[in-house]
Structure 1
Amino acid sequence: MNKKQKVAIDRVVGYALSVALRVPAKILERVLRRDHAMPPRNPPKTIVVAKYLGIGSIVQATPVLKGLKERYPDARLIFVSLRSNKGLLSRYGFIDDILCVDDSSISKVAISSFRVISDLMRRKVDLFLDLEVHSTYGSLMCLLSCARNRLGFSLGDEDHRAFLYTHLLYLNTSFPIRYCYAQLGQLAGMAPLPPMQTLLCPSISGAEVSKVRERMDAVFDFEHKGIVAINPNASDLRYERRWSRERFAAVAKHFSDQGYALALVGAASEHAYVQGVVEHLGSDAGRVRNVAGMFSLIEFFAFLEQCCLVVTNDSGVMNMALTLPVPMLLLAGPVDPEQYFMPNDYRSYIYHQTYCSPCTHYLDTPPCAGDNVCMQQILADEVIEYSERLIRGEHVVPKRNACFSRGSEVFGVLKNVGKS
């Protein structure tokens, strides 16, 4: 199932189920008269954290997971997610168990969800933290787990999912998402995160690192100054986050001419799209390699750590690189970079904010209808300048400015019945 199908099912089926369960849930809550003091008066024995979509969001949540385990070391920490995320989650030692939902079809979602719910009910969950924000499915899983205390996020006063939780926290989208997660953790008794808390890299064995290095030596079998990783991809959460392949090709050519090796990265499913950058380069692609799909998820962390620079759109690759001490330049547009990115002495971003940006996480359909004006404002020359400075080890102040118009065009129009 693609993202649009999942959203449609979540809204129709999820809303219907939430309406049907409202009265029984409220009656049961009054009958049980459970203690909902928060932080808990007694240390919880079983804690569940759920995040289904987005490898990046899971990585952003790692400091909170570690903080909860440190606060309640005797509790069993369970993570509920999609089956595709199990490989990543299994590399974090502070997670005790992983329960997975199979989202490959509607029937498999139903069957696997039932199994997860049954397992959670059997374990008698004391504390459930739902990190999903827009998903009614996530809220229903939280309720049906029968957890004593159910913590979640809300974006407004009127939320049809509010009764599904015992504790709701306002999600302030002006704050970095890792600190929103931390607020939920603090509500559960976790200690506050330090101001510059880093994201946590999954454990990688020495054998895996050696395997990645051997493969890199075989692929980049020529003299070079270092490997520059370029990620031209973004998931179907919002394809408009992608900078043009033509401009990525211009950046790749510049660094190729300077003696660097260029790695065009991505998942196996993105290989064909990434190859479009190579095609733009034509005869200038001699030092460029399309490595999309070449590494497993865990191997990819080890690969990124060997690079001298990562240039990327807002994506899972960006979040993965945030766990590593590697220079990185983010090209931002439909997502406010401060929400997920973490600029520091070796990381920076370029963001030309238009009136309709940010739109991701707020609107299902972008106002630009695919004509991502915010990303088009980023020029190849400024990306090259920032990248060179980061490679040299300079501290590069993020570039953030506002672009109010493109000629007489009005940005952000959602409806215009008079337009032909």
Structure 2
Amino acid sequence: MRKFLIINRLGIGDVVLTTPLAQIIKENIPECKIGFLVANKSVDILKNHPYIDDVFAYKNKHEKKALIEQIKAKEYNEAIIVDGRLSSTILAWKSNCKLLNKGFCISINKKHIFERKNLAVKAIEDFATYAKTLLNIDYDKNKLIPKIGNCDKGKDKIIFAWINEIKKQTKKIVLIVPRTAADIKNWNTTELGKLNLYLNVQDIKPIYIGSPNDKDYINNIAGEKINIAGKFALRDIPEIGKYADFALSMCTGPLHILSTVNKLPIIALYGPSDPVRWAPQNAIVVQSTLPCVPCLNWSKCSKPIGQRCMDEIKFERVQNIIAQYKLLE
């Protein structure tokens, strides 16, 4: 039996956009198995996944040996190195996998040397291209649909009951992902507060999604809201999204998780990152118009706070998008 180990230890969004590769392989190679090796933070989103048999967590370099033994025990025999890292290549080789491709990228003081070359402009097409180049599988790139694992058994009923209670507090279900790990990619909280107050006038209390560390950040945004930071798992987000009228998100992992919800309108705010590559196919993109955008650098910015790309996006632009697409009707 062919057992494919797909390795992508990059961000949550990258992993979500790699899931179509697993589907393509699973649907075209009979009786194969698919294993996914991801960073520890991405493990949960692949649990209960219809196209993934095993999920392996890379926690730290000190636990590599145990991880290699786990992969060997499952007898994975072919590896696809999606993240392009030399360390991932070596890990797969030590796990007795045939290397279908190799990565050579190494990081030194946050600088990348011998970086992986993109196979396509859009990330979702880029990662899926390995099915064609390595396995000679044809597919329709226009039908690449990312998918995360299903929520735990019974959680759908819990969310359904919770949503019915929430509907007593708000006229519409509006989801907001207000924060990323990189501050430079976050929308100005003053403008976000204006959006919140605007929704409040429409008898809407938006639901804010985030990690436990985002709770205070969300509470400090002006206006009435429902703060569920840390209260639900990442795999619960699509189930919640099924009941939403629309969502708004920064460029972050939960944006791509929300994009797996069929027909959910999503407003995606972009500053330093490139929406051409990263924006979900179903997203309504609002991008800064500064000439330096996208700079692809979210570790630092020479512009003072208040004059950066995400500061340049004003509430009125988002308000116009809401009106244009009739998202509150």
What TM-score comes out, normalization by structure 2 length? 0.86
The 2-side partners of 1:271 and 1:181 are apart by 33
Deviation at 1:314, TM superposition (A): 0.4
Distance 1:392 1:126, change over 3 A: same
Q: Is the 8 A contact 1:48 1:128 kept in 2?
A: yes
**Structure-1 residue corresponding to 2:192:** 248
After TM superposition, give the deviation of residue 124 of structure 1 in Å: 5.2
**Is the 2:86–2:104 Cα contact (8 Å) retained in structure 1?**
no
AA aligned opposite 1:295: F
Residues 1:354 and 2:290 aligned together = yes
SS at match of 1:195: helix
Give deviations 1:371-401, integer Å, cap 9, x for gaps.
462212211011011023334499xxxxxxx
Shift of 1:179: 0.8
Measured at CA, do residues 247 and 110 of structure 1 come closer, stay the same or move farther in structure 2, by a change above 3 Å? same
Deviation at 1:318, TM superposition (A): 0.8
Give the letter for the 2:258 counterpart.
A
Q: Summarize the alignment of residues 5-404 of structure 1 with structure 2, pairs less than 5 Å apart.
A: 45-103=2-60, 109-111=61-63, 113-121=64-72, 125-133=76-84, 135-152=85-102, 170-172=117-119, 175-189=121-135, 190-204=137-151, 207-219=154-166, 221-222=168-169, 224-235=170-181, 238-277=182-221, 280-281=222-223, 285=224, 288-324=225-261, 325-344=263-282, 347-360=283-296, 363=297, 365-368=299-302, 371=305, 373-392=308-327
Q: Could you give the per-residue CA deviations for residues 145-176 of structure 1, whole angstroms, max 9, x where no partner exists? A: 33222424578xxx9769xxxxxx7315x711
Give the % identical residues. Answer: 15
Q: Is the 8 A contact 1:91 1:202 kept in 2?
A: yes
Spell out, residue by residue over 1:244-270, the C-alpha distance to the aligned partner (whole angstroms, 9 max, x if none). 111111011111101223112211121
Matches of 1:80 and 1:201, distance apart in 2:
14
- Matched residues in 2 for 1:307 and 1:175: separation? 30
For 1:215 and 1:244, the matched residues in 2 are separated by 30
1:185-220 CA-to-partner distances (Å, cap 9, x unmatched) read: 212223233324222243246732221122233345
2: CA distance between counterparts of 1:323 and 1:120?
A: 29
Distance in 1, Cα, partners of 2:143 & 2:33: 27
Partner SS, residue 260 of structure 1? coil
Equivalent-residue separation in structure 1 for 2:65 and 2:157 (angstroms): 41
CA contact (8 A) 2:15 2:38 kept: no
Q: Is the 8 A contact 1:308 1:391 kept in 2?
A: no
Query: How far apart, CA to CA, are the structure 2 residues paired with 1:110 and 1:98?
Result: 19
Contiguous gaps of at least 5 residues in structure 2: 106-111
Whole-Å separation in 1 of the counterparts to 2:95 and 2:62: 15
The AA in structure 2 aligned to 1:202 is G
Change in CA separation of 1:131 and 1:265 when aligned onto 2, cut-off 3 Å: same
Q: Residue 177 of structure 2 aligns to which amino acid in structure 1? A: N
Tell me the distance in 1 between the aligned counterparts of 2:59 and 2:103: 24
Which structure carries more relative contact order (alpha carbon 8 Å, separation 6+)?
2
SS in 2 for 1:61: helix
Q: Which amino acid aligns with 1:294?
A: K
Q: Kindly tell me: are residues 247 and 364 of structure 1, through their superposed partners in 2, closer, same or farther at Cα, counting changes over 3 Å?
A: closer
Q: Distance in 2 between matches of 1:262 and 1:122?
A: 47
Provide closer, same or farther for how the CA distance between residues 97 and 146 of structure 1 changes in structure 2, counting only shifts above 3 A: same
TM-score (norm 1): 0.69
Please tell me the residue identity of whatever aligns with 1:185: A
Task: Please tell me whether the aligned partners of residues 21 and 128 of structure 2 are also in contact (alpha carbons under 8 angstroms).
Answer: yes
Distance between the aligned counterparts of 2:179 and 2:256, measured in 1? 13
| Cα distance in 1 for residues equivalent to 2:171 and 2:75 | 56
| Structure 1: stretches of 5+ with no match in the other structure | 1-43, 104-108, 163-168, 395-420
Partners of 2:251 and 2:269 within 8 A in 1: yes
The offset of 1:329, in angstroms, is 0.4
- Structure whose alpha-carbon radius of gyration is higher: 1
State the AA in 1 paired with 2:62.
A
